[in-house]
């Protein structure tokens, strides 16, 4: 089977930081700080009403944060600047705690060779690295990230996430992401899988964290590529 592309590795390793495991004994820093997250929610900026779709928005009792996940070799500082203007009242639409004021904004990457300006950066390739944590306002978040520095992410169970919402415009990537799941259909005992089931299994734990419209776009893309007019039709 094909190796997952860098973006899937980036998402898997970043999402791990919102969870905990008994074996091995691991508590991700975002989990330890009490954050709950949502994937690619749609927000408006407070002043201009601009549509903004951060990769991950998370909230807890002590504050909220925005995470931009990227493998691009250029700085994300301009986009991160815009995220600071997001209207926090929309957090309630996604079941997240509402806070006044600006979020902590961060990037997550697989390498630390790009400078994203005056924002905290985490690197999740294998060993968790934290840089520029001095730009964080939430002290609890800062403390947990500092405590987590040096965590070996390679010892964690691999998350079976194989697709992410941003693949909706890239049919080839979506197809590669679903190939292992599609191959199960050829098992003699398989009852087939609907487009909804394919997307559900591909997103794995991201499915319940992804807004409805983003899931619908992925399902429609799967149907289009396989010529299925009905989302409940089995492959």
pLDDT band at 226 (very low <50, low <70, confident <90, very high): low
Q: Which of 155, 184, 214 is the last residue of a domain?
A: 155
Answer yes or no: is 1 within a domain.
no
Q: What pLDDT shows up at residue 3?
A: 58
Q: Phi first, then psi: give them for residue 8, nearest 5 degrees.
A: -65, -45
Given a cut of 70, whether residue 179 has pLDDT beyond it is yes
Average pLDDT over residues 213-222: 92
Do 151 and 172 belong together in one domain?
Answer: no
Do 151 and 169 belong together in one domain?
Answer: no
Domain that holds residue 202: 165-226
pTM: 0.89
Do 150 and 172 belong together in one domain?
Answer: no
Answer yes or no: is 235 within a domain.
no
Q: Name the domain count of the chain.
A: 2
Q: Which of 155, 187, 202 is the last residue of a domain?
A: 155
Average pLDDT over residues 125-132: 97
Q: What pLDDT shows up at residue 230?
A: 46
Answer yes or no: is 99 within a domain.
yes
Given a cut of 50, whether residue 197 has pLDDT beyond it is yes
Q: What pLDDT shows up at residue 229?
A: 40
Q: Which of 132, 155, 178 is the last residue of a domain?
A: 155
Do 32 and 121 belong together in one domain?
Answer: yes
Do 123 and 200 belong together in one domain?
Answer: no
User: Domain of 42: which CATH number?
Assistant: 3.40.1350
Average pLDDT over residues 51-72: 97
Do 63 and 109 belong together in one domain?
Answer: yes
Average pLDDT of the chain? Answer: 90
Given a cut of 80, whether residue 168 has pLDDT beyond it is no
Report percent pLDDT > 70 for the chain: 92
Do 198 and 84 belong together in one domain?
Answer: no
| DSSP assignments along the chain, one per residue | -PPPPHHHHHHHHHHGGG-EETTTTEE-HHHHTT-EEEES--EEBTTT--EE--SEEEEETTEEEEEEE---SS--HHHHHHHTTB-GGGGGGGT----SSPPEEEEEES-S-S--SSSEEEE-SSB-EEE-GGG---HHHHHHHHHHTT-BGGGSPPP-----GGGGG-HHHHHHHHHHHHHGGGSTT-----HHHHHHHHHGGGGGGB-HHHHHHHHHHHHHHHT-SSTT---
Q: What pLDDT shows up at residue 207?
A: 95
Least confident stretch, 146-160, 185-199, 211-225: 185-199
Do 151 and 170 belong together in one domain?
Answer: no
Q: What pLDDT shows up at residue 51?
A: 95
Do 108 and 206 belong together in one domain?
Answer: no
pLDDT band at 4 (very low <50, low <70, confident <90, very high): low
Do 151 and 190 belong together in one domain?
Answer: no
Do 25 and 65 belong together in one domain?
Answer: yes
Does 184 or 129 have the greater pLDDT score?
129
Do 199 and 130 belong together in one domain?
Answer: no
Answer yes or no: is 220 within a domain.
yes
Answer yes or no: is 121 within a domain.
yes
Given a cut of 60, whether residue 33 has pLDDT beyond it is yes
Answer yes or no: is 207 within a domain.
yes
Answer yes or no: is 232 within a domain.
no
pLDDT tens, position by position, 132-147: 999 999 999 999 999 9
Answer yes or no: is 204 within a domain.
yes
Given a cut of 50, whether residue 232 has pLDDT beyond it is no
């Amino acid at each position: 089977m094909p190796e997952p592309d860098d973006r899937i590795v980036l998402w898997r390793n970043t999402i791990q930081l919102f969870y905990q495991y008994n074996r091995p004994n691991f508590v991700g820093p975002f989990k330890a700080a009490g954050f709950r997250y949502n994937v690619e929610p749609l927000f408006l900026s407070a002043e201009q009403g601009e549509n903004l779709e951060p990769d991950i928005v998370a909230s807890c009792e002590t504050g909220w944060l925005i995470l931009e996940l990227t493998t691009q070799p250029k700085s994300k500082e301009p986009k991160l600047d815009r995220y600071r203007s997001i209207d926090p009242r929309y957090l309630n639409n996604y079941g997240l705690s509402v806070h006044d004021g600006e979020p902590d904004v961060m990037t997550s990457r697989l390498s630390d060779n790009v400078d994203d300006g005056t924002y905290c950066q985490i690197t999740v390739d294998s060993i968790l690295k934290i840089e520029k944590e001095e730009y964080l306002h939430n002290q609890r978040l800062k403390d947990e990230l500092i405590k987590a520095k040096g965590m070996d992410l390679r010892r964690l169970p691999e998350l079976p996430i194989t697709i992410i919402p941003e693949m909706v415009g890239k049919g080839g990537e979506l197809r590669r992401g679903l190939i292992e799941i599609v191959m199960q259909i050829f098992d003699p005992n398989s009852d087939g899988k609907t487009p909804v089931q394919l997307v559900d299994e591909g997103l794995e734990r991201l499915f319940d964290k992804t807004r409805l419209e983003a899931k619908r776009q992925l399902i429609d893309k799967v149907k289009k590529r396989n010529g299925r007019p009905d989302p409940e039709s089995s492959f």
